[in-house]
Amino acid sequence: MDEAERVGRVSVTANVFLTLIKGITGISAGSTALIADALHSLVDVLGSALVWIGIRIAQKPPDEAHPYGHFKAESLAELGVGLIIILTSISIVVDAVNSLISGEKPKFELYALAVAIISALSNEVLARYKIAVGMRTKSSSLIAEGKHSRTDVISSLSVVLGLILVYFGYWWADAVVAIAISVIILQMGGEIIKNAIDVLMDRVDEEFSMRIRRIIEGIEGIKSVDFVAVRGTWRSRIVEVHITVSSEVGTERINEIMEKIERLKDSFPEIIRIIPVVRVSREIRRIAVPVDENDNYVGDLNAKFFKVIDVKSGKCWKIRNEFWNAQKMKGYLIAELLSKNGVDLIVVKRIGEGAKNHLKGKGIIVKFAEEFDLKDVRLNGT
Ligand SMILES: [Zn+2]
């Protein structure tokens, strides 16, 4: 058993114990605040149980009946638990309000005070333990858990305060503390339900989608990334990617691209499934023509400019070929420059084999002037 798991077990055992003694004491001493605090501990136990369910059931690999995995089982459990939490905390608020209205005075019981103090101390010990182990194992989730235990300390301390106020004759203090604690529990319940609904409704994880999109846009040979959506939980994610590639890149290249997309699973082990959709496009959107400063056709990659023609709008403009006299990787650099400018086709008189392959790799079609009617392309402006 690793250290994080041991901390988890200690925490669950302690919270089960605290739930029981606070619940029993709260009922027998008539302290609504202590009952509310008992419910808080119970919610913490249920929270840990949900994480466990998430790991055991939701992590089951996809099967024939459930090809997208089982992670929604966790959300269904969360939905149920969230509803129970909300209903119970509402019933405590109702109880507390009733006792305020009826003016029913709670008795001060020393043993109830003792139990509340024990609860505050136990939670403080748990908080320190979790934070210490979290720091040592560099686990941010354990440190977060430790901080949560600190709020449990405050919850129990407010019960202590309420009971002391009751002792000094402020009989309403117990009910007020109970309402305050219930409001916090209501929030916790609401958050659990919201998370569950987000997963069940396939709400897109925007931040993660952006990260995936940026990686895919960096893969060579993709003309455009048309759609990226990530859904699921932070432990199990499903990624859907739609891309367009030029028909020029060929099957072998498309297979390479698919492999690179599939390799996202190595960097993000929480991805359980990737759904790629590839569209092969023959559409020519922009044509590049190598020219000199006076717009004269040069016809090879030594040209200092490219005239770019947008086929649809008929607009054309000039871009500077900053790599015209590059000593190394000239073909590659120019292919990248043209690809960045959305060029699908280049018209040349002559071209080296290497440069041609670089252009092909970026999905850019190379046409020779004799097989392409240059009259279609207006070189002198629009
Ligand atoms: Zn708590």
135 alpha carbon to ligand 1 midpoint, in Å? 20
The crossing angle, in degrees rounded to 10, of helices 110-136 and 140-167 is: 160
For residues 211 and 268, what is the distance between their CA atoms, to the nearest angstrom? 11
| Residues of the chain falling short of pLDDT 70 | 1, 51, 54-55, 58-59, 373-382
195 alpha carbon to ligand 1 midpoint, in Å? 18
Superfamily of domain 3-200: Cation efflux protein transmembrane domain (1.20.1510.10)
What does the block give as tokens for 22?
């606070």
Looking at residue 3, its pLDDT comes to 77
274 alpha carbon to ligand 1 midpoint, in Å? 37
For the chain, give every domain's residue range: 3-200, 206-281, 286-376
106 alpha carbon to ligand 1 midpoint, in Å? 25
Closest by alpha carbon to 38, among 173, 210, 178?
178
Looking at residue 381, its pLDDT comes to 40
- Describe the strand order of the beta sheet including 305-310 as a list of residue ranges: 316-320, 305-310, 286-291, 345-348, 365-368
Tell me the per-residue pLDDT of 92-147, one tens digit each, with 9 for 90 and over. Answer: 888 889 888 887 777 788 899 999 999 999 999 999 998 898 888 877 777 878 88
Classified by CATH at the fold level, domain 286-376 comes out as: Nucleotidyltransferase; domain 5 (3.30.420)
127 alpha carbon to ligand 1 midpoint, in Å? 11
What is the architecture of the domain spanning 206-281?
2-Layer Sandwich (3.30)
> What percent of the chain is modeled with pLDDT above 90?
36
